[in-house]
Structure 1
């Protein structure tokens, strides 16, 4: 099949990007091309050397949904679109084939398992292993009651979608602060389609965020759930979050990492505060929202 791997870039680690490209291109089962859409990297000329196709946009043009939609439109010969972030590294050359294998019939999209990088802190490693278990799962309207808001979880860190189905479902929402992937999955599922979590397709991906970064990221998550509450059933987010914290603390206790439990509780509290502030973003002036937001560019021109 003809596959286009779409990677938005901005000052990426050249080592990670080179590993990403080399491993997806090493796949022999499909015709794979890499399209990088760059929003002002300092080393854009080097990034051009990695990509089969390179598109440059201004930093002000970047939009989590719109930028990916633009790249998808330009990938006219592709049958399958794979969306990846610049810091996701496939564990081997089999990732592409395993990721797109579930697509067909009602399964319109799939996303990969994320494993923590070697430098991941213990809490971050637990987060990845909790959110991305070793067992694959199909999610659709039949699983909504069981999974709640997690039914719509979907990640563009590494995802695949049938291109025709992607556009028939309207693509990603544009002018969105983040979680364009989750919004797409919710729309697909509510239109009778299925999403596959492909646990056998694996990438290395993790972040060692500071508490301030965690606050800012979860502020943006709160903004998303405020704006897309109806689509993703935001009323159940608190229950899912509390369950995750309990699972995290339980895992730490099981590993004998008692000294890290206070850090886990503190981090959970910071995330909760960030989320709650984001849910109430309309109470704050734009200049304050920018300071609390990880994606401060989103607030440009907004009131």
Structure 2
């Protein structure tokens, strides 16, 4: 592997409050790995650019270009030098100093296009805790083309919040330029091309969200729109109902029955957003811009 055999790519925007633990972990990783840090910034007005440069990162500026989950990451990956690219968000916090080891080992296995690690929720709502436990459990797994057929609500094939990809696979299949779920779209493309993916639970970061009802609707509107464009949203009503039933049972056991009504309201809003997003292609563009969270043309 060359001196820049591994590249960490981080899209940033006003991330000064959350970046320091991640940058400290990356600095420590550079002491033992051939690692470069490439950030692509969307016009931060806080101390983000300075923190990145102090950590030795190369900072790319979008220069007023709208952020796109796939498009912006593709630009940063193209500018990076590593044959292995670690995708991160600015609000993940590594759990230990070995957080990258399992990912890097997995992504260099033959025929593996990418690997993603465990995301441990901290400060997340009960529904988001359930999603994290379902998607980021303690057992490693290999993900193959068969998993695309089993994909359903709440499922994850890969994660661009904390994952690593092989540049050779990215050259064949860049991240799709869609409003959200670019990681699921990329995963589907590489899996259908015959590659495999890996889930590596010993690679851990803290990462979670506590979304308001309004943000839950908007984010899931984007998710429904993106997954519909990828033809990954079929049968969502039946699968969604089964997902919610399992979730409410889990929340009742974990948090008590008093937490169930709030979770049911949250899931109703989330499902409404997702189903509306599935129909975005039939709606005027202004409606999508109003209801979604991610930028649109």
TM-score, L = length of structure 1: 0.89
Give a deviation string over 1:162-191, Cα, whole Å, max 9, x none. 112221x221112x1011111110000000
Counterpart in the other structure of 1:223: 225
Q: Which runs of 5+ in 1 are unaligned?
A: none
Equivalent residue for 1:105, pick from 106, 110, 114: 110
- Contact kept, 8 Å, 1:6 with 1:84, in 2: the verdict is yes
- How far residue 124 of structure 1 moved from its aligned partner, in angstroms, is 2.6
- Contact kept, 8 Å, 2:135 with 2:155, in 1: the verdict is no
How many residue pairs are counted as aligned between the two chains? 289
Aligned-partner Cα distance in 1 for 2:265–2:188:
31
Aligned-partner Cα distance in 1 for 2:155–2:125:
27
Q: Which runs of 5+ in 2 are unaligned?
A: none
Equivalent residue for 2:55, pick from 25, 47, 50: 50
Counterpart in the other structure of 1:267: 266
- Contact kept, 8 Å, 1:143 with 1:151, in 2: the verdict is no
Counterpart in the other structure of 1:125: 129
- Contact kept, 8 Å, 2:8 with 2:38, in 1: the verdict is yes
Alignment of 1:155-170 (within 5 A): 155-167=159-171, 169-170=172-173
Counterpart in the other structure of 2:39: 36
Aligned-partner Cα distance in 2 for 1:178–1:161:
18
Aligned-partner Cα distance in 2 for 1:37–1:112:
22
Counterpart in the other structure of 1:173: 176
- How far residue 266 of structure 1 moved from its aligned partner, in angstroms, is 1.0
Counterpart in the other structure of 2:293: 294
- Contact kept, 8 Å, 2:128 with 2:208, in 1: the verdict is yes
Q: Secondary structure at the match of 1:188?
A: helix
- Contact kept, 8 Å, 2:173 with 2:190, in 1: the verdict is no
Aligned-partner Cα distance in 2 for 1:152–1:113:
11
- How far residue 137 of structure 1 moved from its aligned partner, in angstroms, is 0.9
Going from structure 1 to structure 2, the CA distance change for 1:105 and 1:208 (only over 3 Å counts) comes to same
Q: Is residue 17 of structure 2 the alignment partner of residue 3 of structure 1?
A: no
- How far residue 92 of structure 1 moved from its aligned partner, in angstroms, is 1.4
Going from structure 1 to structure 2, the CA distance change for 1:75 and 1:235 (only over 3 Å counts) comes to same
- Greater mean deviation of Cα atoms: 238-247 or 192-201: 238-247
Q: Secondary structure at the match of 1:171?
A: coil
- How far residue 228 of structure 1 moved from its aligned partner, in angstroms, is 1.2
Counterpart in the other structure of 1:200: 202
TM-score, L = length of structure 2: 0.90
Counterpart in the other structure of 2:215: 213
Going from structure 1 to structure 2, the CA distance change for 1:187 and 1:271 (only over 3 Å counts) comes to same
Give a deviation string over 1:192-244, Cα, whole Å, max 9, x none. 11011111111111111011111111111111122111xx3x21444443332
Aligned-partner Cα distance in 2 for 1:17–1:281:
34
Aligned-partner Cα distance in 1 for 2:94–2:238:
32
- How far residue 32 of structure 1 moved from its aligned partner, in angstroms, is 1.5
